[in-house]
Structure 1
Amino acid sequence: MTSQLLLLVSFLFGGGLTYYLTRKNYRDVKSIVTILESAENNKPLPALPSRIKDVYSFIIHRILKNFIEQNYLTIQLSERKYKAQAMELIALQSQLNPHFLYNTLETINWKIASLTGKPGNLNKMVENLADILRYALEGHNKPVILQKEIAYTLSYIDIQKVRYQDKFDVIWEYEESVKKYNVPKLILQPLIENSIYHGIKVKEGRCRIKIKIWKTGELLHVAVIDNGLGIDKERLAQIKDDLKRDIGETDHIGLYNTHKRLKLLYGESFGISIRSKYGRGTAVYLTIPI
């Protein structure tokens, strides 16, 4: 009888101990799984164990310690990458502004040299230049509504029309509804400048620049199309390759800067694309997420 009682007590004790250990192991394993899921989903993590008392607390301690260290390094790398992109964006825009200023001052110098006693056009050019420079320098890299970008692009076109009298016409094609969307500042001017200096300026006769803006879904599309001289196949392939490989040493600095700015602002899938045929003209396209 006594042996049977002892056997029963041993059985109950063993069963209870097994249940306790199994339940504890289950809780510990569940805690590890929960920590891993929280880390994966960027949820708050528990504090590090105050002391390591068994293998499970050791595993939890190592998981949390490694995650915290790795997360800290990831944040540091992200901050450095963001700062590098911001600095590069500022540098690109700073590079673009002097380039534009140089070309515009060259135009003004030409006008002064050929002045025939009618300073009205010259005054207008200076006013337009002042407006554009003020626009370029204010607000740093903040986006602007398309309506404002168009207005200052018109000032740039007016300057160039004085320089290249009877050389080109500009056609705008867009719906009024698109003018409310935000775009990067000075996104149109470099494309028009490219048409004038590399297509229209070197071609005989009157030419045309068409600026087309339209929206599809959550994307805003811009196309600047000219019927200037165009680009031969070899040169076009070289320009596309330079843009793809992020080569900044190019005589198409406006295109390159615009391409680079779009990639920095919106990601690698954005940028500009070019189509051209020698003797027929060039079309430059870009897309901006709304």
Structure 2
Amino acid sequence: MTKELETLLTELYVLIDDHVVEPRSGRGRRPVLSDAELLTLAVAQMLLGFDCERRWIRHAHHSVELRALFPYIPGQSDYNKRVRAARGLLCKAIQTLARISPSWFDDLWITDATPVPCGMSRETVKRSDLAGHAGYGYCASHSRFYWGLKLYLVCAGDGMPIMWCLANPKLGEREVVTALLERDHHLIRSGQILLADKGFSGAQFADTTAAMGLKLLRPDRKDETYKNGNLALPAVPPHAASSAATRPQWHRTEIARTNWHTKFPAGRDWSHDSLQVVDSTLATSHTGPTAGR
């Protein structure tokens, strides 16, 4: 472990202890490993690329640097229980870090969806704990069907996630993003620009986002009159489209990179806890007429 990582974990611990974890009060024994230390230890696991908790705890017990930072490190079973119980604190810590990031105040948001395949055989579909959450969908970029979920992201211009959720692929993209924006409407600032692709076209979705204070910006369809063009930077009129075709569409690259790192953080798969957040997020899509962050 490098000195830079030690400094990062120390600063993260101070931030979590000061702004995330509430001071304990009342009677009872204090845990040997505090909540702030637990969250910092979980972040260190991800940064060091350990996707197996058993390997991580074994490594932490034999690491001189980690033992110096964390005098007490629990066993794998206790560590797993504590981390699952601290899901709310983890979300709060992520939000605290996001709010102090410069990109949190960007006026430009980007949204997109990407498949998350969870099974490749019929037997897996029958036995999987994802039954009732996952479903069959079609991935146009790979020209194939898949069984799993779909990841929806709303992120800042530099790729920092602002909102996200998992949903059944059979649900419409506009309905899911609408439910996501309605759930986290308190994060929307008036005049915010939402950059999307052609799949989010439609008068109803445009009216919904406008009512929330968002300005929807998306490429024009072939059957539409010119309005935004193909959104290659900088935006150009139709007569200059030939020169703009060679320019990199940076927003597509950025959202694709963010999708990949969100789907595969340190090689971990989606947990069942994440699916419980999806249910509460997309309750309107299931119960309405027509899937936590």
What TM-score do the two structures reach when normalised by structure 2? 0.24
State the structure with more CA Rg. Answer: 1
Structure with more of its chain in helix, by fraction: 1
